[in-house]
Amino acid sequence: MNFDFSDDQKFLKSEARKFLDAHCSTATVRGVLDNVDRSYDEPLWKAVAAQGWMGTAIPEEHGGLGLGRMELCVIAEELGRALAPIPFASTVYGLAEAVLIAGSPAQKSALLPRIAAGELIGALATSEGPGVVSAGSIKASVADGKLTGEKLPVTDGDVAGVAVVLAKEAGQVNAYLVDLTGAGVTRETLQTLDPSRGAARLTFKGAAAERLGGAGEGLDIIEQVLNRMAVLLAFEQVGGADRALEMAKDYALNRYAFGRPIGSYQAIKHKLADMYVKNELARSNAYFGAWALDTDAPELPLAAASARVSACEASWYAAKENLQTHGGIGFTWEMDCHLFYRRAQQLGLVAGGAKQWKERLVTQLERRNAA
């Protein structure tokens, strides 16, 4: 029994931390946030690719490093901590995992090496409107290999080369691989709560679509992808939440009111203690998720839901109460608090909100209790 990362994994983590400290300051994040024409930081993306991170969990035969998903979790935590403004999640937890789960040998050979090399950005295009994605919410359709419809928001859809798109064909929901640079695809960049990450509205008019996985398996494939994403995003969320707590703590130690540090007042002390508790719980739940993900354990759906629910709670609380701890200055554009506040919402919604994951969690509990 052993419930911690290995020494190698910890070394990877400390190297990732050093790398991102050097290449991804909050100035890097603001470079995307403040510039409507930029959806991600391209130099950072290339530098990350040079580290080989996109290929962490991609098998060596497809150009990856062939490490486990535990290693990907370690990297995810550091990316979340750095608020990295790059399409890593969409590409690596989204497109790559979808192809690994359901891709044909040809699809794997075509896409995975390009992802591992950092040459291909991916996206998941499932949502068409407010509310949960389900068979009923999908209007996009495919006929004769041509896709018609609209998807929004598609995170990183404005810069992705290939998207996994849910659409209907012959009454069934399928997943399709769509080349977004091809004919019949129109992209409109969307204004979102977190402009340091890109998102688009995609309109398809007869775009070429190649099925991923079997007929009628679309929702199931996406559910499997989301379970994996939930764990990896939980690490990003925990990374960000920990850094928000550090910010709040530093400010509380150095900011004085009424002649003493605001961190000496119980209102602030207990707020930060609560933040710490939520972060620790989220971290522990994420660790269990990492184990379930890495070993492809049958517990994965429950572990993923637990990791996500716990991480969403910690991430949102840390982001909003870090800002509150800063007082007026925290509400200014110049102070970094809002970067964490925005990202907490982005991460909390991109793989579906905590509300739907709570429902999934209890459904899993019911199944387990019935078994």
Partner 1 sequence: MDFNDTPEEAEYRAKARAWLEANAPKREDHVRGEEPTMAESKAWQAKKAAAGYSCITWPKEWGGPGGTSWQSQIFAQEEAKYPVPGNPFTIGLGMCVPTIMTAGSEADKVRFVGPALRGEEIWCQLFSEPSGGSDAAAARTRAVRAPDGSGDWIINGQKVWTSGAQYSDFGILLLRTDPDVPKHKGLTMFWVDMKDPAIEVRPIHQMSGGSGFNEVYFTDLRVKDSQRIGPVGDGWRVSIVTLMNERNAIGGGSSYHRQVMQLADGISTLAGSGIKDAALREKIADWYVQAEGLKYTRLRTQTALSRGQTPGPEASIGKVVTAPLMQDVANTALELEDQFGIISDPKYAPLQAMFQATLMSAPGMRIAGGTDEILRNIIAERVLGLPQDVRLDKDVAFKDIPTGR
The H or E element spanning position 231 is: helix 218-254
- Nearer to a copy of itself (CB atom), residue 270 or residue 355: 270
The yes or no reply on residue 134 touching partner 1 (CB under 8 A) is yes
Number of residues near partner 1 (by CB under 8 A): 104
Q: Which of residues 236-265 bind a copy of itself (CB under 8 A)?
A: 265
Give the residue, chosen from 140, 230, 309, 318, that forms a contact with partner 1 under the rule CB under 8 A.
Answer: 309
Nearest CB to partner 1, comparing residues 112 and 347: 347
The reply on whether position 262 binds partner 1 by CB under 8 A is yes
Residues 6+ apart with CB under 8 A from 337: 244, 247, 319, 322, 323, 326, 330, 331
* CA–centroid distance for 52 within its chain: 18
- Please check whether residue 71 is in contact with residue 47, taking contact to mean a CB–CB distance below 8 angstroms: no
Please choose which of a copy of itself, partner 1, none residue 293 contacts, taking the beta carbon within 5 to 8 angstroms, the exact cut-off set by kind: none
Residue 172 near which of partner 1, a copy of itself, none (CB within 5-8 Å, type-dependent): none
Residue 246 Cβ vs a copy of itself, minimum distance, rounded to whole Å: 23
- Out of 288, 300, 304, 315, the only residue in the binding site for partner 1 (CB under 8 A) is 288
**Rounded Cα distance, 108 and 104, in Å:** 6
Q: At closest approach, how far in Å is the CB of 269 from a copy of itself? A: 8
Tell me which H or E stretch contains 362. helix 354-370
Alpha-carbon torsion (203, 357, 90, 237), positive or negative? positive
CB neighbourhood size of 182 (10 A)? 12
Please name the residues in contact with 309: beta carbons below 8 A apart, sequence gap of 6 or more: 285, 354, 357, 358, 361
Handedness of CA 122, 127, 130, 132 (dihedral sign): negative
Q: Is 129 in the site for partner 1 (CB under 8 A)?
A: yes
- What's the closest the beta carbon of residue 258 comes to a copy of itself, in angstroms? 12
C-alpha–C-alpha distance, residues 49 and 158, integer Å: 19
| Residue 267 binds to a copy of itself (criterion: CB under 8 A) | yes
> Which helix or strand (DSSP H or E) is residue 284 part of?
helix 266-294
Residue 340 near which of a copy of itself, partner 1, none (CB within 5-8 Å, type-dependent): none
70 binds, among partner 1, a copy of itself, none (CB under 5 to 8 A by kind): partner 1
The values of phi and psi at residue 305, to 5°, are -65, -40
Write the CB contacts of 43 (distance below 8 Å, at least 6 apart in sequence): 23
371 in contact with a copy of itself (CB under 8 A): no
> How many chain residues bind a copy of itself (CB under 8 A)?
4
Of 270, 355, 367, 368, the one binding a copy of itself (CB under 8 A) is: 270
Asked if 88 contacts 62 with a C-beta cutoff of 8 angstroms, the reply is no
Q: Is 225 in the site for partner 1 (CB under 8 A)?
A: no
CB of 47 to partner 1, least distance (A): 26
Which residue stretch of 84-92, 157-165, 170-178, 268-276 sits at the interface with partner 1 (rule: CB under 8 A)? 268-276
107/189 with CB nearer partner 1: 189
Stretch of 39-47, 107-115, 236-244, 304-312 contacting partner 1, by CB under 8 A: 304-312
- 364: how many CB neighbours lie within 10 A of its CB? 18
User: Is the Cβ–Cβ distance between 94 and 228 less than 8 Å?
Assistant: no
User: In angstroms, rounded to a whole number, what is the distance separating the alpha carbons of residues 270 and 104?
Assistant: 53
User: Taking CB under 8 A as the rule, does residue 10 contact a copy of itself?
Assistant: no
Residue 266 is a binding residue for a copy of itself (CB under 8 A): yes
Kindly state whether residue 194 participates in binding partner 1, applying the rule CB under 8 A: yes
Dihedral angle of Cα 44, 50, 53, 58, to the nearest 10 degrees: 140
Among partner 1, a copy of itself, none, what binds residue 184 when CB lies within 5 to 8 Å by partner kind?
none
List interacting residues with a copy of itself (CB under 8 A): 265-267, 270
